[in-house]
Structure 1
Amino acid sequence: MPEGHTLHRLAREQQQTFAGRPVHVTSPQGRFAAGAALLDGRVLQAASSYGKHLFADFGGDVLHVHLGLYGAFTGGTGDPPPAKGALRMRWTAPGPDGAGAWTDLRGPTACEVLAPPEVAAILARLGPDPLRPRADGGVAHRRIGGSRTAIGALLMDQSVLAGVGNVYRAELLFRHGISPFRPGREVAADLWQRMWADLVVLMRSGVRMGRIVTTLPEHRTRRSGVVQRDDAHYVYRRTGLPCRICGTPVRTEVMAGRNLYWCPVCQAI
């Protein structure tokens, strides 16, 4: 599932490409036909994201997209390719340089037009997003610090913290030497403050790079300027491989519906 940095990057790209322009909206698949008809030809006021949710404001009517596990946007300039398969939604518009621009959406969990109060109701259910300006990590700790639930599960709860998914969960806990099984109430406020600050840095880096890289240069097998895929993470999807720090095989089990990865030595407490 795309994590918060991906949605933030998508919103920024859509803002730069389509905002202030009338957008031709269609639903070749037909499942979003009514919503597409409502938005077609209207000017996109702004595109933004919060956590794993994307919002496109068309002047009172707001397009809400949640990509879920399988959703994805693709796009480009010039004429779009022929519409094929389960294409939920397509945008086309004159681009900022005068050339045409397009974006296609396939496989989302949600693609719907909402009124502002409905958008507000979604936002009210979400915890702070580390990528949002002035987000308060202390709000998340008020939930975490009073919970017996394992921190590995709490980090995946979007009502606690918005935008964090499986990769950031595994890597953040490793970088701070925390067992994913530690109860939230045993994560002290000062420790959480350091984790939150680290998460902000990691997710901003994800927006900038378009990928998640959590390893330090000294912990990579190759020291070239480009971080290779197998050097990008400490524990995520490294089951059975030696921990980069202590050499213990990385372990995995399901927690909060997703495969959790951790080092039983470096994350013993």
Structure 2
Amino acid sequence: MPEGHTIHRLAGEHRKAFVGTVVHAESPQGRFAAGALQIDGRVLTEADAHGKHLLLGFDDERWLHVHLGIYGKYAFGSVPAPPPIGMVRLRLRNTQKYADLRGPNTCELLDPSEKKTLHARLGPDPLRADADPEVAWRRISRSRTSIGVLLMDQTVVAGVGNIYRAEALFRQGVDPSRPGRELTHERWTAIWADLVFLMAEGVRVGHIDTVRPEHTPEAMGRPPRVDGHGGEVYVYRRSNLPCFLCGTEVRTEVLSGRNLFWCPTCQGT
């Protein structure tokens, strides 16, 4: 499932391509035909993201809410748009660009009150200017649940996925099994600051890089990572391989249905 930086990049692409223009909408697949009809011919006024949720605002105060889920994908191109290929849930286009949405978990229209409710149920997003890490801290500091689970709970922190969870905890030397209430406020502040930095870099470069300059392949004289996710990481998908910093074998286990990766030596405190 795409992590938050991907959704913020999608908001930026929509902003660049469509905001301030009349947008035509259709649902070639047919599953969003009624919704597409309601926004067809409207001006797209805003493009926003909160966690893993994309929100596109129109001049009638309605919002298109998209959650890609596991299988959702966007494709952008220049007009004239080719005939739709595959199961295109929604096509948006103006005189210059088009965007095709396939396979989302959610594609729906919200009124302003429904959008407000959506924001209210999500935790602070490290990529949003209005994010308050203290809101997350109040939940974390009272919880017996492990920080590894809490970081993946979108009602606690929005936008963090499996990669950012594993890598931020490694970088801060935090055992993912530590209960939230045993975390110090200072350590939480450091984790949050790291998430802000790493996810902003993800938006900037388009993939997830988490290793510090002194641990890059060039600096360490090691082969670069070869993985479909791209980017250099410390522990994610490196189970049974030696930790770059201490040589201990990276471990993995299933935690709340997702694979967790960590170094028992570097994250033993």
TM-score by structure 1 length? Answer: 0.94
Q: Does the Cα contact within 8 Å between 1:156 and 1:256 map onto a contact in 2?
A: no
Q: Does the Cα contact within 8 Å between 1:143 and 1:160 map onto a contact in 2?
A: yes
Name the structure 2 match of 1:97. Answer: none
Q: Secondary structure at the match of 1:15?
A: helix
Tell whether 2:194 aligns with 1:198: yes
Could you tell me which amino acid in structure 1 is paired with residue 37 of structure 2? A
Aligned mates of 1:256, 1:91 — CA distance in 2: 36
Name the structure 2 match of 1:188. Answer: 184
Name the structure 2 match of 1:240. Answer: 240
**How many residue pairs were aligned?**
262
Aligned mates of 1:2, 1:38 — CA distance in 2: 28
Name the structure 2 match of 1:75. Answer: 76
Tell whether 2:42 aligns with 1:42: yes
Q: Does the Cα contact within 8 Å between 2:173 and 2:267 map onto a contact in 1?
A: yes
* CA deviation after TM superposition for structure 1 residue 229, in Å: 4.2
Name the structure 2 match of 1:103. Answer: 99
Q: Secondary structure at the match of 2:201?
A: helix
* CA deviation after TM superposition for structure 1 residue 118, in Å: 0.7
Q: Secondary structure at the match of 2:76?
A: strand
Aligned mates of 1:108, 1:185 — CA distance in 2: 35
Could you tell me which amino acid in structure 1 is paired with residue 178 of structure 2? R
Tell whether 2:143 aligns with 1:142: no
Q: Which of 175, 178, 182 is the aligned partner of 1:179?
A: 175
Please show how residues 126-137 of structure 1 align to structure 2 within 5 Å.
126-137=122-133
Q: Deviations over 1:110-147 (max 9, x none)?
A: 00011111111111101111111142111111100110
Q: Secondary structure at the match of 1:88?
A: strand
Q: Secondary structure at the match of 1:23?
A: strand
Q: CA RMSD in A?
A: 1.5
Please show how residues 214-253 of structure 1 align to structure 2 within 5 Å.
214-223=210-219, 228-230=224-226, 232-253=232-253
Name the structure 1 match of 2:118. Answer: 122
Q: Secondary structure at the match of 1:222?
A: helix
Could you tell me which amino acid in structure 2 is paired with residue 113 of structure 1? L
Q: Does the Cα contact within 8 Å between 1:24 and 1:40 map onto a contact in 2?
A: yes
Q: Does the Cα contact within 8 Å between 2:217 and 2:224 map onto a contact in 1?
A: no
Could you tell me which amino acid in structure 2 is paired with residue 90 of structure 1? R
* CA deviation after TM superposition for structure 1 residue 3, in Å: 0.8
Q: Does the Cα contact within 8 Å between 1:31 and 1:88 map onto a contact in 2?
A: yes
Q: Does the Cα contact within 8 Å between 1:150 and 1:183 map onto a contact in 2?
A: yes
5+ residue gaps, structure 2, are none
* CA deviation after TM superposition for structure 1 residue 267, in Å: 1.1
* CA deviation after TM superposition for structure 1 residue 228, in Å: 4.8
Name the structure 2 match of 1:262. Answer: 262
Could you tell me which amino acid in structure 2 is paired with residue 203 of structure 1? M
Identity of aligned residues (%): 57
Could you tell me which amino acid in structure 2 is paired with residue 157 of structure 1? D
Name the structure 1 match of 2:94. Answer: 93
Q: Secondary structure at the match of 2:218?
A: coil
Q: Does the Cα contact within 8 Å between 2:75 and 2:99 map onto a contact in 1?
A: yes
Q: Structure 1 38/229 Cα, relative in aligned 2: closer, same or farther at 3 Å? A: farther
